[in-house]
Amino acid sequence: MAAALCAQAQTPPPAPTITGVAHVAFRVNDLDKEINFLGKLGFEEAFTSADGSRTMEAFVKINDRQFIEIYPQTNPPQPLGWMHACYETDDANGLDALFSSRGLKPPPAHKAGAGNLIFAINDPEGRTTEFTQYMPDSRHVLDKGQHLGGNRISDTLLGFELPVSQLGAEKQFYSKLGFDAEDGTHSVHLSAPDAPGLRIVLNSAGPHGETQMLFPVPDARKAAEQLHRAGLKVDRQDKLVFVRDPDGNSFVLLETGTAEGMALKAPAR
C-alpha cells in the first residue's frame, strides 16, 4: 500500500495542452459591415472593446468557447484580412513554461483586457500565434449562454487553412507547439491530441493563396439556401459552400452529415 502511494505521489502531473481554437482575428475596412455580414451567418456580437467612443475590437460569438475578433482599420497602411489565431489551453502559465523549455522563448502570460490569461509567439514568418486560458471572471465566461444565435449557420469553428511560404519551418514550429503534423501534397495537416475535431491545414503559398475559415454544417444545400435567403452571394460545390465577407475573406462550410453524426464539435470542458 505504501509503495503504491509513493509511486502515485511521484507521478508527474499531465503536461498542459492545446484544447481547441479560442478565436481567429481579422482586420476589416468597415466594422459595421463586417458585423452585419457575420449576423447573416447567424453569429451575434457579444461585446466590444472601446477607446472612448471608438470601438477598437468586436467579439462575435460562434459558441461559448469560440469567437471571431474583428478589428477596424484605423489607418490605411494597416493590412486588411487575417491577423492571427488564438488557441485555448487550461493552463496558460504551464504552457508558457513548456514552450520556453522547447526554445520558443514566449513572453510571460498576462491578463488581457477581457480578463483572460494570454501570451503570444511569432511563427517563422512573423505571424502572431496566441494562447489563452479562460478565467472565471472574464467577459467571455460571463457571456456564457448568451448571444448564441438560433439561426447560426454552424455552431463550431472547425479550423482553418493558412497559406505559408516556409512549409518546413512552419511544420517544425507547430510541432514544437504540440501539434501532430502530417505531410500532404504541398501541405501539412495539423491536429491536436486534446482537440480531436480540430483541422488546420498549412498550404504552400501560391500567388493566390488565401486563408479560409472552416465550419461544419449538416447539409451543404440547406446551408447555401439559408445564406442565399439572407442576401449573400454563395458558391456551392457539392458538399462545400463558399461565401465571402465584404473584404473578400473566405468562409467555407463543409457538409459533415447529420448533427448526431458530426462528432466535430468543440470538446466539452
In a domain, residue 93? The reply is yes
pLDDT of 3 above 70: no
Average pLDDT in the chain: 90
Work out the pLDDT band at 208, boundaries 50, 70, 90.
low
In a domain, residue 200? The reply is yes
Which three cell numbers, joined as nine digits, stand for 113?
483586457
In degrees, rounded to 5, the angle at the alpha carbon of residue 119 between the alpha carbons of residues 81 and 141 is 85
Same domain, 107 and 54: yes
pLDDT of 207 above 80: no
In a domain, residue 6? The reply is no
In a domain, residue 51? The reply is yes
Residue linked to cell 502515485: 8
Total domain count, the chain:
2
Same domain, 138 and 223: no
Range of the domain at 180: 159-262
Same domain, 92 and 166: no
How do residues 149-196 score in pLDDT, each as one tens digit?
A: 999 999 999 999 999 999 999 999 999 999 999 998 899 999 998 998
The CA-atom distances, in angstroms, between 269 and each of 19, 115, 121, 265 are 9, 19, 25, 12
Coil, strand or helix at 239: coil
Q: Please, are residues 27 and 79 in contact by the beta-carbon 8 Å criterion?
A: yes
Rounded CA-CA distance 124/97 in Å is: 20
Q: What letter does residue 107 receive in the DSSP assignment?
A: P
Work out the pLDDT band at 266, boundaries 50, 70, 90.
very low
Same domain, 34 and 71: yes
Same domain, 185 and 124: no
User: Which residues lie below 8 Å from residue 32, measured CB to CB, with a gap of 6+?
Assistant: none
User: Which residues lie below 8 Å from residue 156, measured CB to CB, with a gap of 6+?
Assistant: 62, 63, 66, 197, 215, 216, 264, 265, 266
How do residues 96-118 score in pLDDT, each as one tens digit?
A: 999 999 999 999 999 999 999 99
Q: Please, are residues 62 and 24 in contact by the beta-carbon 8 Å criterion?
A: no
Q: Percentage helix, strand, coil, to 5, in the chain? A: 20, 40, 40
Domain at 38, CATH number: 3.10.180.10
pLDDT-wise least confident of 6-15, 100-109, 231-240: 6-15
